[in-house]
Amino acid sequence: MDFATPITSMTDPFGRDITYLRVSVTDRCDFRCTYCMAENMVFLPKKDLLTLEELDRLCSVFIEKGVRKLRLTGGEPLVRKNVMHLFRQLSRHLTSGALDELTLTTNGSQLARYATELADCGVRRINISLDTLDPDKFHAITRWGNLSRVLEGIDAAMAAGLKVKLNAVALKGFNDAEIPDLMRWAHGRGMDLTLIETMPMGEIDADRTDQYLPLSLLRADLERQFTLTDIPFRTGGPARYVDVAETGGRVGFITPMTHNFCESCNRVRLTCTGTLFMCLGQEDAADLRAPLRRSEGNELISQAIDEAIGRKPKGHDFVIDRRTKRPAVSRHMSVTGG
């Protein structure tokens, strides 16, 4: 099949073209980051997961309908059994020219093992989540993580020729003072750094009000030490970038709380059970598993996707304050994929 021209393109009611699919291939993770998960998380029974073949089929329908960028995430995507088989299968869409980019977001713990194979599957750029370079703090925030393994993973990714971007969630009183050092470290190694505001998703053991740090404050703090210049650079995601004169690197700001970026949203998110979320910050979803399993052809899936895109909401309404006790959405980030 010729994927170069989509049969139908996906445009939502607000005129936004949907060209970016993020897929959470598992809700499981080998870390328990305190802002993301409770320590005793209950994960989906394995039998509820779509098979890798089913995930491939759904992704391929989205590509046929105009998706140009595909990101596998989770949970931790690299802990899903045989996930490299899925990367390998999906890489055919890069070869055919139907897909511009196949990528992933990872905590880096398994990268030493998989970096070369990912590069071989056509992955060129990856996002690695890293909130601190202090081994004790790293262990405290991830509960189960080991910093040296992640650093080995970063080295392996770079050695395999992958372009690495670091993602750090800005957490008040935890890593705010360390951000300048994290930035110098990243830029010194040729990596961009993106800072993310913590979002109210799912019940965690901590109070999010204590963790929440508006990036406007962090940016003002950085501007006291560095010369930041806004630039139009985009990677197809929600980050807004600045150049840092002193380091020669770039910093991105993802600000779902202080600056809603929904007007340019080009994304939808598929979970490992085949549920499609049209917005990270809303509960509405569409089931694609039933149409997937109901017929061997893709017509029913395609119809279900069109219906879902037709009700993509204008945006999210995240709030973190002392009066708002419940998270804006009940599911954890690991379900929809960050």
Binding region for ligand SAM (CB under 6 A): 29, 33, 35-36, 73-74, 76, 105-107, 129, 167, 169, 196, 198-199, 201, 333-334, 337-338
Q: How far is the CB of 333 from ligand SAM (least distance, A)?
A: 3
Q: Which residues contact 302 (CB under 8 A, 6 or more apart)?
A: 8, 61, 64, 65
Task: Tell me which long-range contacts 260-265 makes (C-beta under 8 A, separation of at least 24).
Answer: 260/315, 260/316, 262/314, 262/315, 262/316, 263/14, 263/315, 264/16, 264/238, 265/16, 265/238, 265/312, 265/315
Q: Residue 274 or 338: which CB sits closer to ligand SAM? A: 338
Q: How far is the CB of 256 from ligand SAM (least distance, A)?
A: 8
Q: Residue 110 or 247: which CB sits closer to ligand SAM? A: 110
Phi, psi (rounded to 5 degrees) for 56: -60, -40
Q: How far is the CB of 299 from ligand SAM (least distance, A)?
A: 32
Residue nearest to ligand SAM (CB): 338
Q: Residue 87 or 305: which CB sits closer to ligand SAM? A: 87
Q: Residue 302 or 334: which CB sits closer to ligand SAM? A: 334
Q: Identify the three-state secondary structure at position 90.
A: helix
Q: Which residues contact 234 (CB under 8 A, 6 or more apart)?
A: 241
CA 317 to chain centre: 19
Q: Residue 64 or 76: which CB sits closer to ligand SAM? A: 76
CA 217 to chain centre: 24
Q: Identify the three-state secondary structure at position 177.
A: helix
Q: How far is the CB of 49 from ligand SAM (least distance, A)?
A: 16
Q: How far is the CB of 11 from ligand SAM (least distance, A)?
A: 27
Q: How far is the CB of 216 from ligand SAM (least distance, A)?
A: 16
Q: Which two tokens stand for residue 261?
A: 């970026």
> What is the C-alpha to C-alpha distance for residues 249 and 124, in angstroms, rounded to an integer?
19
Strand 249-254 to 240-244 pairing? antiparallel
Torsion-angle region of residue 234: left (phi > 0), alpha (psi -120 to 50) or beta?
beta
Q: Residue 29 or 228: which CB sits closer to ligand SAM? A: 29
Q: Residue 24 or 302: which CB sits closer to ligand SAM? A: 24
Strand 249-254 to 192-197 pairing? parallel
CB-CB neighbours of 248 under 10 Å: 10
Q: How far is the CB of 33 from ligand SAM (least distance, A)?
A: 6
Q: Residue 204 or 288: which CB sits closer to ligand SAM? A: 204
Q: How far is the CB of 291 from ligand SAM (least distance, A)?
A: 26
